Amino acid sequence: MLHHHALFVAFEQLGGAEAALDAARRYSLQRYAFGRPIGSFQALKHLMADMLVSIELARANCCFGAAALGSDGDVLCEAAAVARISATEAFRLCASGSTQVHGALGVTWESDCHLYYRRAQALAGSPGSLRSWKERLVALLRERAAARACPSPT
């Protein structure tokens, strides 16, 4: 049941990351500095490209998790762990990146950046911290490697 809940949270984080990136993209096209949109500056392009890459990785891992919902055992455990890890990292990156793109406006109540950031932090620990999911994944992969190295005699 924990793995099912973790996948649902991962999908929520994915949606939050997409919303944060969309807010950053819209603002970067609307705000002008030095006679051109701030979205045309290389630093913001690279930041938003990194945000998009993290979202696409999280989306792939969440889809892997959705496909694994019908199975039990190690496949579901692995899928839930990688989905949670990538979605947590994507939402955190996109929430902080959106705040950076918005600049001073990003830390005010007038923009939604603070909502994305607070939600990213709240979901990062539900269910289980990012560290605990990484530890679960490492333990699972070690068990799998040990089983392959020493197959049971049958």
Structural domains of the chain ordered from first start = 2-145 (1.20.140.10)
Question: Beta-carbon neighbour count of residue 11 at 10 Å?
Answer: 17
Task: Read off the pLDDT of residues 34-89 as tens digits, 9 standing for 90 and up.
Answer: 999 999 999 999 999 999 999 999 999 999 999 999 887 889 999 999 999 999 99
pLDDT at 152: 67
**Cis amide prior to 151 (ω within 30 degrees):** no
Using DSSP's 3-state secondary structure scheme, residue 37 falls into strand
Prediction pTM value = 0.91
**Rounded distance, CA 87 to CA 55, Å?**
7
List the alpha helices (DSSP H) in 31-152. Answer: 42-68, 74-102, 113-124, 130-149
Task: Read off the pLDDT of residues 128-148 as tens digits, 9 standing for 90 and up.
Answer: 888 999 999 999 999 988 988
Backbone angles phi, psi at 150, to 5 degrees: -125, 80
Which pair of structure tokens corresponds to residue 44? 């913001």
Task: Read off the pLDDT of residues 83-120 as tens digits, 9 standing for 90 and up.
Answer: 999 999 999 999 999 999 999 888 888 889 999 999 99
